[in-house]
Amino acid sequence: MSSKSLIFMMSLLFFAGSTLIAQEYDYIGAAKCKMCHNKAATGQQYKIWSEGPHANAMNTLSGDQAKAIAAERGIADPATDASCIKCHSTAGGTDEAFHAGLKMDEGVSCETCHGPGSGYKSNSIMKSREKSIENGLIIPDENLCRTCHNEESPTFKGFNYEEALKQIAHPNPAAE
């Protein structure tokens, strides 16, 4: 096989492989999640999230500490810098082409941890954990959390997954 044929074949395989792993689902935004996940009977997950640190992550980038850290690193505005917003906003860390209802000011929304919701948002799918996972639902774990809670963050002081999980817990009593 000639080197040109080999390069062509490898390029073809690369292209086909990247197409197979292309993103299938869109980010729908926290407002869509709220429609079903803000009822007392199902645990008020939206309310818990909206009052917690993840929903307010973008706000921290406007504070004095963030501005001081940004200035030390030569960053003009941490609230618009890609290296900051990739962890402070779901919209800042994902491909804009898939932002169906996602907004930058949502901070770290439901879909950072649970995956883009367009495929599993319907009630008929959400009734089944298995169907939800088949349609894009992610069950978050420590590795997912550590994509942002790590030494790359200028304010990182260690990360205890079990303790962090308690701070953001939002169980669904109807599913237990």
Q: Alpha helices of the chain — where are they, by DSSP H? A: 3-20, 30-34, 45-50, 57-60, 64-72, 82-88, 110-114, 123-126, 129-134, 142-145, 161-168
pTM value? 0.81
CA atoms of 150 and 144, how far apart (whole Å) = 11
Task: Walk me through the domains of the chain, giving residue ranges and CATH numbers.
Answer: 24-175 (1.10.1130.10)
CA atoms of 89 and 152, how far apart (whole Å) = 16
pLDDT in tens, 95-138: 998 999 899 999 999 999 999 999 999 999 999 999 999 999 99
Predicted confidence pLDDT, tens digits, the chain (176 residues)? 555 444 444 443 444 333 334 579 999 999 999 999 999 988 999 999 999 999 999 999 999 999 999 999 999 999 999 999 999 999 999 999 899 989 999 999 999 999 999 999 999 999 999 999 999 999 999 999 999 999 999 999 999 999 999 999 998 877 76
Other Cβ atoms less than 10 A from the Cβ of 85: the count is 21
